[in-house]
Amino acid sequence: MSEEENFIYGTFPEHFKWCAATSAFQIEGGATEDGRGRSIWDTFCHISGNIIDNSTADISCDSYHRYMEDVSLLKNLGVKFYRFSISWPRIIAEPTKGVKVNEAGIRYYNNLINSLIAVGISPIVTLYHFDLPQDIQDEGGFLNEDLLIKCFKEYADVCFQNFGDRVKYWATFNEPRQICTLGYGLGIMAPAIHSPKTGVYQAAHSILKAHATVWHLYNDNYRINQNGKVFIVLCSEYAMAKDPGNDSNVEAAELAMQFKLGWFAHPIYINGDYPSVMKNKVLLLSQQEGLKNSRLPEFSEQDKKFIKGTSDIFGMNFYTSRLAEYQQRDNPPSQPCLDLDEIVEFSVDPKWNDAGSMWLYLVPSSMRKILNWIKREYNSPEVFLTETGFMDKTGSLDDEHRVNSFKLYLNEVLKAVTLDECNVVGFTAWSLLDNFEWVFGYSEKFGLVNVDFSDEKRTRKPKKSYYYYAEMIKNNGFLQPPN
C-alpha cells in the first residue's frame, strides 16, 4: 500500500506547536554592520570555489533590516512559534578577547523578539547555528575544548541575561553531527578541516561538554526565574535495511543509527556516554590501524554524570532516508573517510522522489519510523521536530512538490502521534524564506516564501506551500473532506 492510500485524517493534540524556522547567517545579511564580527562562514564563503554559485551571505534576505516583513509573514502564516538563531559574532565580535557585548546586536534581537511577542509568536532561539566567531577558530575552534566551552558559556550567559525573560525555548547547538562530519571530518563546510579519523570526534566531544555546561548554567542560575527549556537540535537520516529480510542489513542500519543519532543522543538521553556499539567499532578500527587506544575520546565518570539528562526536550531535524548494508569492498578506501562510511554502505531506492539535490529524497514513511525509533531508544521523550523541508532549484510560487512533501511528512507525524503514541509536541517548516543554503548558496530554495535576490528590496512573495501550511495550522491537522 502506498503512502497516499494509507493517508489518515485527524487532528494533532490541542496544544501542538506549529513553527517555521530560519538561521541568522542564512537570512540576516548586515555582515559588517554595527560592530558584527567575522564568522567562519564569512571567511569560508569569501574563498573562491567554496560556494557552488560563488555567492556570499553578505546581504542574503537582508533580514537585519527587513525583520518586520518576516514577522508579518509569520503572523499571517498563523504559526505560534518562530525558530531563529542568534549570530554569536553579532553579540560578541571577538570572544577570545573578553566579553565585550555589542549593544547594537542586543538591540536587534530585542526588537525581533518584542515584535514577535507583540503578534502572539513565541521565539525558539538557537544559540549556535554554524556561525562560529572566526576569532575562536583562529585559536583552534571546536578542537580547542577549554576555550570553546569558556567562550560558549560566556556568550550563552549574555543571551540568557538579555533575552531570557521572554525566550522560553533555547537550543544550544544546531545539528552537531553536521558541524563535526562536514566541518571537521570531510572538510566540505566551514571551517573546512579534513580530519575524518580524529578531529571529527574531538569536535563532538567539545560540543557535548559545551552543551552540558550551558544547560547547567541555565538550570543553576536562570530556570527558577525564567522557567524555560534548554535542549539540543539533533539530526539524522533514517537508515533502513537495504533488504529488511537480511539480518546483516538490519544490523548495519541499526549501527548507522547509533553513529548518526546515538553519537549525541545516547550521552544526553541515556547514560552520559557514547553508544557501546560505536565505542567498540571505533576501538576495533583504531587497533587495526596499529593504535593502542581508541580514536574516540573517553568521558570521565564525572563527565558522564555532567552530560546525562541535559536536555529538556528532544529537538530533531529530519529530512530524508538512506538504505544501509555492510561494506563489501576488499580494498580500503583510497583516501581517509568517516569511520561509518568505512563500515556501512549507503544507497537510495531509485523509486524515491528526489528534489534535484545531491542529498534530499522524499521518503515519507521514514518520518514515522524515525519517531518510533526515538521513542523506543530514548524512553518516549518529548520530541519537537525543529526542521523539515523540501527544496527546488527555481523558487517557483507554484511549488506543488513542497506542498506534497509537507502533506505526506505531516501525515506520517500524525500517524506516529495518534496510532503509535509518539510524544511529538511540535512541527517546524524549514524554511520561512528562500535563503543562503550554505555550500549551495542560492541554488537551492527551501522557502515557504520566495525572495527575489536580484531586487535590492529582497521582495518576499508567499508560495503555494505557505498557504497550504497556513491551512494545516488553522485546522491543526487534516480535516476529512465533506464527500
What cell does 195 get? Answer: 580530519
- Give the Cβ contact number of residue 77 at 10 Å: 21
Is 175 among the catalytic positions? yes
Q: How far is it, in rounded angstroms, from Cα 196 to Cα 337?
A: 6
Q: Which of 325, 387, 412, 437 is catalytic?
A: 387
Is 3 among the catalytic positions? no
Contacts of 346 by beta carbon, 8 Å cutoff, 6+ apart: 239, 256, 322, 323, 324
169 in Cβ contact with 123 (< 8 Å)? yes
Report which of 71, 75, 162 is spatially closest to residue 112, judged by C-alpha positions. 71
Tell the burial category of 108 from Cβ atoms under 10 Å away from its Cβ (0-12, 13-18, 19+): buried
What cell does 421 get? Answer: 503514541
- Give the Cβ contact number of residue 197 at 10 Å: 18
Contacts of 65 by beta carbon, 8 Å cutoff, 6+ apart: 29, 30
Alpha-carbon 343 to chain mean position:
25
Q: How far is it, in rounded angstroms, from Cα 89 to Cα 92?
A: 5
Q: Which of 175, 325, 377, 412 is catalytic?
A: 175
**Cell numbers 525555548 label which residue?**
169
Active-site amino acid positions: 175, 387
